[in-house]
Amino acid sequence: MALNPHFILAWRNQALDQLTTSLGTSALLQVYAGVQPADVSSAVTAANVVLASLTCPTTNAFGAAAAGVLTANAIGSAAAATGGTATWFSFVKSTGARVLDGSIGTSGADLNLNSTTIVTGAQVAVSSFTVTLPA
């Protein structure tokens, strides 16, 4: 039997807005090198290196969800702390607790960058980011 769930729009928007609530204020978008953990509850290993930490707006990382889509508010750029190949990201609370992880690539990833090669001291920037819950 195939799995084929469908959710009402109001629930999808509420679920996405809960992501914003969970992140709280002063969240960060951390760009990592290394193998992405299996889920956000799995520990980040020493092999995972934070290449850059980008600051989200102090009020909310995301605007209100609409049509099942959550759009990030402007994310600040940051100088890379170290160089490496960006492979995954995590939105983290100000406490450091991870809330949302995803893949990084140049196309077809959860977060697409112009290049996954990060150079120490170079600016890392994200021009836009959305999370979508399908119907």
Whole-angstrom distance between the N-terminal and C-terminal Cα of the chain?
A: 19
Instruction: List per-residue pLDDT tens for the chain, 135 residues long.
Output: 788 889 999 999 999 999 999 999 999 999 999 999 999 999 999 999 999 999 999 899 999 999 999 999 999 999 999 999 999 999 999 999 999 999 999 999 999 999 999 999 999 999 999 999 998
pLDDT of residue 3: 87
**Phi-psi domain of 116 (left: phi exceeds 0; alpha: psi -120 through 50; beta: other):** alpha
Reading the block at residue 117, the tokens are 């090669």
- 7, 133 Cβ separation under 8 angstroms: yes
The pLDDT value recorded for residue 47 is: 95
Dig out the tokens for 71 from the structure.
């759009």
Per DSSP, 116 falls in state S
Kindly report the pTM of this predicted structure: 0.93
What pLDDT is attached to residue 84? 98
Structure tokens at 21: 């609530």
Domain boundaries, the chain: 9-37+45-132
